[in-house]
Structure 1
Amino acid sequence: MVYNALSSYQKVQVSSEINPQKLIHMLYDGAIKRISFAREGVINKNPKQRGENLSKAIAIISELNASLRNIEGEEISFLRSLFLSMMQELCKVSITNDIQTLDRATKYLMELKRIWETSVMGQADTAENTNPKTAQKKEIPSMSYSGYERHGQKTTSIAI
C-alpha cells in the first residue's frame, strides 16, 4: 500500500517537472513501442499481449489528442482527426489481427515524431525554452498524408 502511494507521488512529481515538449516526445515513443509489442502479439497469436499493448497504445494516442484541446487551427484539426482515426482503426485490430493497420499507424506516429523532433524539440535547446513556465508556444508544422481528405466539416476516416 505504501509502495503504491509512493509510486503515485513519484509519477506526479516527474510529470510536473518534465519539459512539455519532451513529454510529447515520450508519448510518441511509447505509442510506437506499444504498437510494436501488439504486432508481436498478433504474429505470435498471443491475444493477451496484443490486447494489453493495443489498449496502452490507444490510451497514449488519446493523451496526444488531449494535449491539443486548447489549441485551434487547421493543422490541429488535422492532427485531432488523425489521432481519432488511428484510435478507431487500432481498436479493430483486436478482431481483425491486421498487421498492415499496425504498420500504418506506426508509420504515421514515426513521421509525427520526426516532425516533432525537428520542428519543436530542435527549438527547445535553450535554457529559456526548457522551463515549462517560460517556454514559448511552438507552431505545429503543416503536414499532409495521403488517405486523409476533408469534405466540408466532415472528415473521412484514413486507412491506417
Structure 2
Amino acid sequence: MYGSAAHNIYAQNNVEVESPAKLIEMLYEGVLRFNAQAKKAVKDKDIEKKVYWINRSIAIITELISILDLKQGKVSKYLEGLYNYEIQLLSQANVHNDITKIDEVSNVFKGLSDAWRETNNVAH
C-alpha cells in the first residue's frame, strides 16, 4: 500500500525507517511539527518562515496522497479527499495568516496519528 517514494524521502535524509507503518507515523508527526513552526511564524509575523513551514506540511500531505493505494477501497478514497481538503486549509492559512486553519489541520493530523498508532499497535 505504501510506495517506495515516501521511503526514499527519508532515505535521502539518512533516516532509518523500520517499516512502512512507522514511516506513515513519521509523516503525520512531520505535519504536526511543521504546522507548529508555521503557527509560530504567523505569530512572529515572519512571512518567509510561514511560507516555508506551510509548504513543508503541504509537501508531506502531497506525498501521503501519492502513496495511497486507491484500489483498497473507501478508506483510501476518504483519505485522499481528507488530505486534499487539509492542503486547501493550509493554502488558505498561508494567504490569510489564519492560525485557526493551521490548528484545524493539526487537530486532524493528531487524530490520524493517534488512530494510526493505535491500529498498528494492535496489529503487532
TM-score band by shorter chain is 0.7 to 0.9
CA–CA separation in structure 2 for the residues paired with 1:11 and 1:117? 22
How much has 1:78 moved relative to structure 2? 1.0
Equivalence for 1:22: 22
Instruction: Say whether the 8 Å CA contact 1:32–1:109 is kept in structure 2.
Output: yes
CA–CA separation in structure 1 for the residues paired with 2:15 and 2:122? 21
How much has 1:99 moved relative to structure 2? 0.8
- Name the aligned partner's letter for residue 120 of structure 2: V
Equivalence for 1:135: none
Q: Rg: which structure is higher?
A: 1
**Secondary structure at the residue paired with 2:85?**
helix
Equivalence for 1:73: 73
How much has 1:67 moved relative to structure 2? 1.9
Instruction: Say whether the 8 Å CA contact 1:37–1:53 is kept in structure 2.
Output: yes
Instruction: Say whether the 8 Å CA contact 1:21–1:121 is kept in structure 2.
Output: no
CA–CA separation in structure 2 for the residues paired with 1:121 and 1:71? 24
Normalising by structure 2, we get a TM-score of: 0.83
- Name the aligned partner's letter for residue 108 of structure 1: V
1:77-88 matches, within 5 Å, as 77-88=77-88
**Secondary structure at the residue paired with 1:18?**
coil
Q: Which moved more, 1:85-94 or 1:30-39?
A: 85-94
Higher relative contact order at CA 8 Å, sep ≥6: structure 1 or structure 2? 2
**Secondary structure at the residue paired with 1:120?**
helix
Where do 5+ consecutive residues of structure 1 fail to align? 1-7, 125-160
Equivalence for 2:43: 43
Instruction: Say whether the 8 Å CA contact 1:51–1:94 is kept in structure 2.
Output: yes
Cα deviation code 1:90-110 (max 9, x no counterpart): 112121011110011000000
Instruction: Say whether the 8 Å CA contact 1:22–1:121 is kept in structure 2.
Output: no
Q: Which moved more, 1:21-30 or 1:114-123?
A: 114-123
| Distance change in 2, residues 1:15/1:121 (3 Å) | farther
Equivalence for 2:112: 112
Q: How many percent identity over aligned positions?
A: 25
Q: CA RMSD in A?
A: 2.2
**Secondary structure at the residue paired with 1:68?**
coil
Structure with more helix by fraction: 2
Q: How many residues align?
A: 116
Equivalence for 2:3: none
Q: Which moved more, 1:85-94 or 1:15-24?
A: 15-24
